[in-house]
Amino acid sequence: MCNLYSLNKKRDVVARFFRVSHNRTAAFEPASAIFPRHVAPVVRSTVDGEREIVTMSWGFMLLQNGRAPRPVTNVRDDKILKSAFWRSSFEERRCLVPATSFCEPNGDVRPVTWHWFSIKGPEPRPLFAFPGIWRRYKGPMKKDGPSVDMETYAFLTTTPNSLVATINHERMPVLLTRQEQFGTWLRGSADEALALAREYPAEQMWIVQEGLDKEDLLAA
């Protein structure tokens, strides 16, 4: 499960990469560490068929009796159509989550070592996207806290490739890198979109940082 990622690119670079006009791009700053409940940019389609970049809170809020709501950050590709918690968002509200690296800890070993994964390319941290879904949440953020009204996002995971499996044997986020993939995820049918849920080739990725840091230092 991916609960930490980074985005080390500035607003104008992200907008150009995802083909979003400047006047449809919300303000945001590069981030060396994005955790659950953090606010970060996502790309989505508008009613006129164009794209916009807005900021949302990471994690669909799951209500729990007698406890604070819990942010659920990832959705499994084999559960997204079977669970009412996810299905309508997948069918109606897809988005792209810009990123430059993601992090996985080394399980139960202490001290925890954090492993940052990125894709290979002409620069140290090329842009890519997690295929995401979004929805509006109205409710408390804390136990017995005041109600809030905000938009939230989560993104898709699949089985890990051989590189990610050296750290996480169960799941890895789906990674999209091409313009045609972005269009399919945002505007394609449910079947077409779900067909994108596959392991990213291990030979096209690498571990760019290992250590005790819970942030991608290149993104700082």
Instruction: Encode pLDDT of 51-103 as tens digits.
Output: 999 999 999 999 888 788 899 999 999 999 999 999 999 999 999 999 999 99
Closest CA to 74 of 65, 63, 62: 62
**Banded pLDDT at 105 (limits 50, 70, 90):** very high
| CATH fold for the domain made of 5-219 | hypothetical protein yedk fold (3.90.1680)
Beta strands in the chain (DSSP E): 5-7, 31-34, 39-45, 51-58, 60-64, 67-72, 74-76, 94-99, 101-105, 114-119, 128-140, 147-158, 172-173, 205-211
Question: Across 73-127, where does the E strand assignment appear?
Answer: 74-76, 94-99, 101-105, 114-119
**Percent of the chain having pLDDT more than 90?**
85
Residue ranges of domains in the chain: 5-219
Q: What is the mean pLDDT of the chain?
A: 94
Query: pTM surpassing 0.85?
Result: yes
pLDDT on residue 219: 58
Among 99, 77, 46, smallest CA distance to 193 is for 77
Taking 80 as the threshold, does the pLDDT of residue 180 lie above it?
yes
* pLDDT number for residue 140: 83
pLDDT at 147 over 70: yes
